[in-house]
Structure 1
């Protein structure tokens, strides 16, 4: 759980998948405008954000930071985000400069493995045309909107495991993207005129494809490929050694310096880098932003299942009944659970709550499964919802046995395998870093859910199984909504007990009297 909203300095919106679940570019524009005002007031003028990646492999650890799997919607979201934060068609003096990432798209993972570790160092494109059709369009939108910078990913595009050519790329150079002239030339050909900002650690831990080179040689290779700035390093000596050794030219040094200085001068950071603390206190977490964020949280909640129209559970339908609320999440403390229950009870004084499911008629089980780590290779990620993902599934089953009605509120970071929880639930809501209280409000009829799934949930483990040769049953480089086109008749999309297909765009609703 962590800190409560009251402890956090900035207005708390849903996650990026949650913003996508609203289906509204207007919401994203509002988010960008409100957030830009808060960042500007606090003196924050640069962000390594947002992710233009399309979420195509459901196991990718970074997938929850995307705007989903629909290239067309992600493109519109990136246009709104870049213009909203930067202040218009190009970076403005009162804007927040963005670094769009991770070019040319981090979603094409090899079975979900991430290039923060060697086992995940490849982007693979087994599907002809997938790079151009699915992964590049959101970056084109960000470039057209004038993003100040673009960050290439760590990964190597695998020539062996990809169908080539991929559109404008005839054959993949076996180098990480920040060293890869072919890929960075593609970026420039798409119209990017800002600087190219490497991801962190490409000169040391994640120098994929350049492991045998010295640090100075890696510097030269990246700079001459087109990288203008190395993130998260103060290794000036290696850069100086590379220049003195002739590994990159004076012309490239001047070009990179000019591009970096243009951003700094545009933002006025040499003339006036200061922020007014009193003004920051006035602007940050203002009532208008809080109301807009709460509206976004409501619109991010997806009603995925509503068996026999069990929802909404209104105070009238709950007369004489007791309601139990449970939360299952990583590192959840008793104090945090008690605080959540208290906030829910205060918001719904007409409902009789209990802290013992054995005496309840209705249970609302909130859960946030989670597994994964940046810098620890844990094998191909398992999307099952159970103890390993910090959900006590046996307790969920015991709760189901003791109550007449069970509603599950799943706060999803990934498209989890739902077979362990959906059959137990009369109602299933899905949020994406959405407020738990807001999900409970939907259960209790405070508003009509309107969210739509921004990602497709796989039908079972077989749909994402990996064979002995490392090939996935469903293509890693294709969004969930399109995977069945490439699976020779095998199903990919989860279908619940009521026949609902949990694919991109699915969402139910109900009328609130």
Structure 2
């Protein structure tokens, strides 16, 4: 942008105050664009803050709703008077609508302070990539990063400045529907993904036109809600909080995330939005975080419902004092903050601190230098959301197929051959809506590839495809979650009629591909469940198809682990596809027909029963561990089920077979401050080129607090040709052995450690070493 490009709009006030601010903006712009630096960031922000009135300051702390429709005159006037600092958008918004808000702020506002625009770009914008659990299943940071970079490019081109992502809430309870948005159960894996996604959303330069600010959510421990019930209480020991739940947030913030969102929930009795210990002691003092803190939707006013505020004044005061700087969907900041300041109940310095941070965020986004940086020029317009040209289909297909997890492949049924007759059956078989998953942003079902479409394209004229619905996605037409998603189709025919039609189709086929699971609204915010089984209609369909005697492939589409013990027995092959996005159907077809060898690994444990929850691999040993080889009644176990998971963390099959050699350690005694290497030879013993993820786990055998049986500390994704071998080496240093002790100090204690390497968390090669207590 040229130095003189920030022009005083014709409709702006010509008061001396406004003229002074225009000169400040011009000076800052000169500095930012390579001219003579006449004013730095902090000077500019201080000068701007000094000119603001109390109502204008309060307005900067308010994030209001942009509903995806042309803005009303009232909404534009509200922005113009400086009563709003930012707007969050819904799917369907246009760049022209956002530009109208920015025109109101910049051209009509007394000080011309721009607003910023934020939205839920969780797993893609126009191009929809697999949901978080799907991307985590790739164990491929480069692929995950590419999805985030493309999402930022597309979202910024549509005018967004910020996304409410990444969602890094660790979750070990699949009853919680929002597990679908996150990256699984393990703090190490989630942390590595959080870093990469944050970096790629924001890009090399945060203020660039193709960069959007990451707002990490939901701080903190939202994924640990009791009973998996959304918005419920979270009670987590402080030790477990530091050891397991906080690291992913910290990783994202240390990667440069410009904002963080508070959780809607209480943490150990204190709502996160008014939790000074979280927002000031940990976030500001311990982590030295300097970004923006935004409440979740209506979280400030919900302090009253939590019972920690008597009314609006209490809620506004508690949130601001604790460290919440911007209130999303605000009411109480607007109603109460100015009066609280005037009464002296809240010091003006606290208000200024928050306003300064909001302004600094806009500065970092480049909006003071060009308020239209991501909106473009009005005469250029924008491509409509249904225009397929901007889509990144090749990248979406690549990420999607890397996210698919082969759970079972009896008698090598897969890959299928492209000949004969294939019956494609199920409520998710030809469903371009649900394959997009929750939080699909501006993704269009009309642009998504269903499983049936993908298979049809793959076989062309070489095979015949037959289709039947077979069952509805839910057993009840008035299912609450279906009512919440108006796009769900529900066939009014009786279930037996749907079933009979599907069986008749299946009997004509050589192989059956049945797609079962959840509608996207069933794994979403507010979509908590006590039953993780497939709906009855879907189970009965699968049973009936099994009775045909035809080879049976089960394709799962879902946003959480399901309890599919019997379904896994009935099907000859099981492919977990999650919600795989815009190119999902093509990606699944690639795997089913062997054009791509599956390499995904589970980022979360699949239980056999909902009664096992929480079930995760990194559990403590207990004082009475259960030994299945020597069972005893007085040991920690369930007596009415197999205590092992159905599918363990890190598990996933391939169309080839890999083997691992015994481990080799560079030393069996590690000194503090030093490193060692552990190596293993990976061999592809099959007939196909394939890729797998080699996983490193560690265990501290004796410590001052009980330590997990194993913890993921490293992984490498490796591609090998048939017969090829490769030595895989992991470095282990003493920082990887550290943990929080009972005093919440990060320590490394001498003793014996197990090092384990495997292709999942259950089948592991093991060796041991000693950590010397003598300092270097």
Q: TM-score, normalised on structure 2?
A: 0.55
Secondary structure of the residue aligned to 1:123 is: coil
1:200 aligns with 2:297: yes
Q: What's the C-alpha RMSD, in Å, of the aligned pairs?
A: 3.3
- Residues 342 and 123 (structure 1 numbering): CA distance in 2 closer, same or farther, change over 3 Å? closer
**Highest RCO, 1 vs 2 (Cα 8 Å, sep ≥ 6):** 1
Counterpart of 1:383 in structure 2 is 532
Is 1:401–2:547 an aligned residue pair?
Answer: yes
What residue is the counterpart of 2:182 in the other structure?
A: 66
Contact residue 305 and residue 500 of structure 1 kept, 8 A: no
Give yes or no for the alignment of 1:301 onto 2:404: yes
Correspondent of 1:429 among 575, 580, 586? 575
Check conservation: 1:362, 1:403, Cα contact below 8 A: no
Instruction: Specify which of 315, 325, 341 is matched with residue 243 of structure 1.
Output: 341
Which of 447, 465, 468 aligns to 1:353? It is 465
Q: Distance in 1 between matches of 2:654 and 2:381?
A: 41
Indicate which of 132, 152, 167 corresponds to 2:242: 132
Q: Is the 8 A contact 2:425 2:514 kept in 1?
A: yes
Match of 1:54 in 2: 170
Return the offset for 1:49.
1.2
Q: Which residue of 1 aligns with 2:751?
A: none
Would the alpha carbon gap of residues 209 and 331 (structure 1) be closer, same or farther in structure 2, given more than 3 Å must change?
farther
- 1:275 counterpart residue number: 376
Matched with 1:461 is: 610
Whole-Å Cα distance in 2 between the matches of residues 306 and 112 of structure 1? 31
CA-to-aligned-CA distance 1:443-491 (integer Å, 9 cap, x gap): 2222111111111101223313xxxxxxxxx4xxxx7222474595356
Deviation at 1:426? 0.4
Residue 178 (structure 1) aligns with: 273
Pick one of 81, 88, 92 that aligns with 2:207: 92
Is structure 2 residue 125 aligned with structure 1 residue 12? Answer: no
From 637, 648, 651, give the equivalent of 1:506.
651
User: Per-residue displacement from partner, 1:339-358 (whole Å, max 9, x unpaired)?
Assistant: 75355323312122223113
Question: CA distance change for structure 1 residues 267 and 287 in 2, over 3 Å: closer, same or farther?
Answer: closer
- Shift, 1:245, TM fit: 3.8
Alignment of 1:441-460 (within 5 A): 441-460=590-609
CA distance in 1, matches of 2:548, 2:652: 28
CA distance in 2, matches of 1:111, 1:10: 34
2:452 pairs with 1:341: yes
Specify the alignment match of 1:412 in structure 2: 558
Contact between 2:605 and 2:648, CA under 8 Å: does it hold in 1? yes
Alignment of 1:133-152 (within 5 A): 133-152=243-262
Determine the C-alpha separation between the residues in 2 that align with 1:287 and 1:195. 31
1:22 alignment partner, one of 126, 130, 138: 138
Aligned twin of 1:482: 618
For the structure 1 residues 240 and 338, does the alpha-carbon distance in structure 2 shift closer, same or farther, using more than 3 Å as the test? closer
Is the Cα contact below 8 Å between 2:164 and 2:216 reproduced in 1? Answer: yes
Q: Which runs of 5+ in 1 are unaligned?
A: 159-173, 465-473
For the pair 1:31 / 2:184, whether they are aligned, the reply is: no
Offset of residue 81 of structure 1 = 1.3
Indicate the SS of the match to 2:426: strand
- How many equivalent pairs are there? 459
Corresponding residue SS for 1:140: helix
- Give, in angstroms, the shift of residue 92 of structure 1: 3.1
Structure 1 match to 2:426: 327
Q: Pick closer, same or farther for the CA change 1:241–1:373 going to 2, 3 Å.
A: farther
Does structure 1 conserve the Cα–Cα contact (< 8 Å) formed by 2:408 and 2:575? yes
Largest Rg, 1 or 2: 2
From the superposition, tell whether residues 257 and 97 of structure 1 become closer, same or farther in structure 2 (CA, over 3 Å): same
Choose between structure 1 and 2: higher strand proportion: 2
**Offset of residue 248 of structure 1:** 1.9
SS in 2 for 1:196: strand
